[in-house]
Amino acid sequence: MMVLREAGIVIGMALLLSLIVKTWLMQAFYIPSESMENTLLKGDRVIVSKLTPSHIDLKRGDIIVFEDPDHWLPPTAPIERSPFAGALHSTLTFVGLLPSDEGNHLIKRVIGLPGDHVVCCDARQKLTVNQLPLNEPYLFPGDVPSQQSFDITVPVGRVWVMGDHRSNSADSRPHDEGSGGAKGTVPESLIVGRAITVVWPLQHWVWLTNPGETFDKVPAAPAR
């Protein structure tokens, strides 16, 4: 009985620690689509740091996970599981031992911060942020920065996001509906955190570093 009690205490403490980590520090997420190829592949599992943007400032180029702002995602059919398997899966996901696959989160790259003027495209077919053309090495091979033209200013408290696979990403562009950034941007309050590493499958393991060379010279947002 003593062994069982000690095992129960250890398991309980491990679950509690995992829940604390998931709630305030890090959480695992499942990549459900091809919109971030080839940076992220469908089926990858990523770890997201919840310290951004609450404690660490968000940067242009960061890859973020955020809650669906306004029906960006189509309805998904629930996965059929037995009652026991469903309860076990929900419990392990709740405490952070399984990645979230609820179907109500998206993952994209931050292109524009509050106040930024983002335009596609200039005469050389480059995306510009505050009039600086961007060289985007992370784009899916063969993709152009955008097949859809836009000229937006990011509202206060929101960010403009785009997938790396621009020809296969339902991101800020199609959801803006010509509003100049009012509808297609994502409220910072819906950002779960910044993706920092791919952890599964093992052969895809990589740190998701910020492409600073793309955004370092972007000037500050123009005064409004």
Burial 96-118 (b: 16+ CB within 10 A, else e): bebbbbeeebbbbbbbbbbbbbb
What tens digit of pLDDT does each residue of 99-123 get? Answer: 555 568 999 999 999 999 999 999 9
| Helices within the chain (DSSP H only) | 2-24, 83-95, 172-176, 212-215
- Please report the pLDDT score of residue 71 as a whole number: 83
Range 8-34 burial, b when 16+ CB lie within 10 A, else e: eeeeeeebeeeeeebeeebbbbbbbbb
pLDDT reading at 94 higher than 80: no
Pairing between β-strand 63-67 and β-strand 191-200 as defined by DSSP bridges: antiparallel
When pLDDT is cut at 50, 70 and 90, the band that residue 97 belongs to is very low
Q: Is residue 197 a contact partner of residue 205, using CB atoms and an 8 Å limit?
A: yes
What is the predicted pLDDT for the residue at 98? 47
The owner of tokens 């929101």 is 158
Active site residues: 35, 108
Range 28-80+104-215: architecture per CATH: Ribbon (2.10)
- What are the residue boundaries of the structural domains of the chain, listed by start? 28-80+104-215
Strand 186-187 versus strand 191-200 pairing type: unpaired
Q: How confident is the model at residue 96 (pLDDT cuts 50, 70, 90)?
A: very low
Give 125 or 91, the one with higher predicted confidence: 125
